[in-house]
Chain A
Amino acid sequence: MPDARPLGDLSPELLGSSVWPDRAVLEAGIPVYDVPLVSVGGGLGSFTLVDALRIQGAPASSLRVLSNLDTPWQTWAYLSRVSQLPPRERIRSDAGARPDNIWGFPSYALHEAWRDRSPRLLFQVLTEPVLTDFFSPRAETVFATLEREAARISYAAMLAKGQVRMVRRRAGDGYFTILTPPAGATPTKRIAIRSRFVHLAVGYPGLRFLPDLQEFRETHNDYHRVVNAYEPHEHVYEFLKSRPGVVVVRGAGIVASRVLHRLMDDRERYGSQTQIVHMFRTFVSGAHGPGPWMRRRGGDGWAYQAFTLPKSAFGGQLKARIRRADGAGRAELMKVIGGTTTPRLRPWQAQMRAGREGGWYHPVQAVVDRVEPTPDGRLASLTSSDDGTRARHVSDFVIDCTGLEAGVPEHRVLADLLEHGGARRNGAGRLMVGENFAVTGTENGDGVLYASGAATAGNHFPAVDSFLGLQTAALDIAADLAGRGFCARLGPLRSTGQWLRWASGRPV
């Protein structure tokens, strides 16, 4: 029987074996390219690593970023925009966490203060969080500075477009990464990149819906009235501008805050008559925590925290404690410091207070049992509360702001790595990595496979899924690579010299 596979596609032999000899790849007709290091993903995780490596002296020709994204900030920009964070808005991130600058100096606060000639921003960063709210940069500041840094390190020259299908170990040492380039871009369906080092920064495996909302959407084929905050849902705000309506908001994190902020802004700006029912699964009524040494602020349903984790989890005392703890200790500490939180910002507090007093914002503790359509085409959320009461809330829309993440096996490349690459999952269900961010069990000869970002949560470092966390991983990986002779170490002299180049906008 003739082989029906397209030219240069994966053969049954390749698909079925965990270790590939060079011969098998060549026999499948897949062209092989050699690059010392590839980074899979092409988002901010890949960007921060290649940025650190370029600063540490790796030439652009020794690095390839494999991605279907045109720019590293594309996914982040999309998710921010649809989750009600337009470019002018301030994100939830520390002044010193700037993905375009491994040193974090000057901070985004100094950058914006200088650019906007704004002493107010300087005062804010000087007195945060004692007299003022934490400073955080505008999304547009992050985009603009990333664009500048991308040009400085020749990011475009390192980018190879396409969809990564898998990473497999090569017989002997190193890895093969299989890329499916855009249709028509290459003569063969796949190409293989043979490298000693691989870095995986594939972001969230995916978003998951609340089960009752997913069931409603599938049963009633209604993707209009039940929306996820991470999907485009502008039609909800447009509808509510045009006539009075009721919206149920579910979730207690930053995205719920932003969605509420948008709904409340629209009331102020356009005179919308929107009624907001805000459902908290866990209603936080005050400060909480195991003791006076560990008490987080809370109230009105929310747990309050400036950033996604307590600040020191990014680089201070809590980071050190987690690193030292064993698996059980880490899980226990994460239970205390993790969880859904939102920053306690003065303008948001004022809006919610006005809403409660005006009788149009109704925060409630409720668990939704079922969502069903009403005869007049609206939605009824049937809920039960901790005190045993049951209720039925009728609304025009439900906005799911819970942002549940899909599991690692739902990502094709990670699932393949678990099946064929020797990778293991940690107690949190993510990839187990060492302190150098090498994925445990995947080493091959002198080859190393690293990972960073959301897929590496639950290991020695809690804040993996943040600007500073990605940079931490990038610097730790780069230090490990320097130890293996791949690039130079970043000592005080090189660091200062490279910072001067950064500051003056000269290439690395």
Chain B
Amino acid sequence: MIPTLAGRLQTRVLVLATVGVLLTAVIVPVLPGTAGPLSGTYRTAYLILLAVAVAGLGWELLYHLLMQFRWDKDWPTLFGLVTVVPEGLLMWFLLDAGLVPRVHGVALSTYATMLGFVWIGQWLFVNGPIRVVLVQWRLRGGRVL
């Protein structure tokens, strides 16, 4: 990817709001470590997704800064995948410490399964199929607006 800062932020929001929402809908019924009614799990899952999106905007600022040290001003495909580790760890720390509003008592297995599934899905989407829907996306540094 060769994102601009605006492209990063817009892509993050767009992809989590579409692919992220869809994949969450798919994975929630089979998530391990859940208890109580399914509607409650959905509510928790979407709140976590929202938290990942909000924190992600901050992460994108950091990635943009790091990218400036690269001559090509590119963001290799692999980076888009492995950034799940720092992002996932920070979010787990926030969840565990009860710092994510209105989310309590999420099991690590639930969280890790959901995040891994959604992350891989959105990573695959931005590394290919998004170009089919938005033909100019890759030529505008990931901007959709």
Contacts and interface: CB of A to CB of B under 8 A. Distances in A.
A306 B133 CA distance: 28
Contacts of B2: 311-312, 314-317
A316 B4 contact: yes
A388 interface: no
Interface in B35-92: 67-69, 71-74, 76-79, 81
A310 B71 contact: yes
A317 B135 contact: no
B129 interface: yes
Interface string A117-151: 00000000111111100000000000000000000
A320 B71 contact: no
B141 A316 contact: yes
Contacts of B22: none
B139 A472 contact: yes
Measured as residues with beta carbon below 8 angstroms from the partner, the interface class of chain B is 20 to 34
B76 A130 contact: yes
Interface in A259-301: 289, 292-297
Nearest to B82: A130
A424 B145 CA distance: 32
A296 B135 contact: no
Nearest to A104: B131
Nearest to A320: B4
A126 B81 CA distance: 9
A496 B132 contact: yes
Contacts of A319: 139, 141
A292 B69 contact: yes
A75 interface: no
A102 B135 contact: yes
Interface in A92-125: 96, 102-107, 110, 125
A73 interface: no
A221 B73 CA distance: 48
Given A104-B138, A293-B68, A472-B139, A316 B73 contact: yes
Contact of B135 (A96, A107, A320, A495): A495
Contact of B133 (A106, A128, A316, A496): A496
Q: Which of A102, A104, A131, A317 has the most CB of B within 10 A?
A: A317
Contacts of B81: 126
Contact of A490 (B4, B78, B135, B139): B135
Contacts of B74: 310-312, 316
Given A127-B78, A316-B7, A311 B73 contact: yes
Contacts of B131: 96, 103-105
A320 B7 CA distance: 11
B140 interface: yes
Q: Which of B3, B69, B71, B77 has the most CB of A within 10 A?
A: B71
Q: Which of A129, A289, A293, A316 has the most CB of B within 10 A?
A: A316
A319 B69 CA distance: 17
A314 B136 CA distance: 12
B141 A312 contact: yes
Nearest to B138: A315
Contacts of B128: 105-107, 110
Interface string A146-163: 000000000000000000
B78 A126 contact: yes
Contact of A128 (B71, B77, B134, B135): B77
A306 B72 contact: yes
A297 B70 CA distance: 10
Nearest to A492: B133
Contact of A312 (B69, B72, B78, B135): B72
Contacts of A127: 76-78
Interface in B113-145: 128-129, 131-136, 138-142
A315 B76 contact: no
Contacts of A106: 128
Given A312-B73, A316-B3, A316-B7, A105 B141 contact: no
B76 A297 contact: no
A473 B138 CA distance: 14
A495 B79 CA distance: 28
The 6 lowest CB-CB distance pairs between A and B, nearest first, are A316-B2, A312-B73, A311-B72, A311-B74, A312-B2, A316-B141
